């Protein structure tokens, strides 16, 4: 199951920089993950300072 970013996101962009398939983009007030592109590697979750990305 793909990762999703919760409302805990502080829009720092750390997750987007780590995503190997560029599935993460800046949304309205937080970053979002394209579920169709996500390869479920967990790199975003490992780099997020607030733990916002999690498997949906």
Do 41 and 56 contact (CB within 8 A), yes or no? no
**How far are the Cα atoms of 20, 36 from residue 13, in angstroms, in the given order?**
14, 20
What is the pLDDT at residue 23?
98
Do 50 and 9 contact (CB within 8 A), yes or no? yes
What is the pLDDT at residue 56?
85
Model confidence pLDDT, tens digit, residues 1-56: 899 999 999 999 999 999 999 999 999 999 999 999 999 999 999 999 999 999 98
What is the pLDDT at residue 40?
97
Q: In whole angstroms, how large is the CA radius of gyration of the chain?
A: 9
What is the pLDDT at residue 26?
97
| Domains located in the chain, CATH noted | 3-55 (3.30.70.20)
User: What letters, b where the CB count within 10 A reaches 16 and e where it falls short, cover 8-25?
Assistant: ebeeeebbbebbeeebbe
């Amino acid at each position: 199951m793909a990762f999703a970013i919760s409302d805990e996101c502080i829009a720092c962009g750390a997750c987007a920089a780590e995503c190997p398939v560029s599935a993460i983009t800046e949304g309205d007030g937080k970053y979002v993950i394209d579920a169709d592109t996500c390869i479920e590697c967990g790199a975003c979750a490992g780099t997020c300072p607030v733990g916002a990305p999690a498997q949906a």
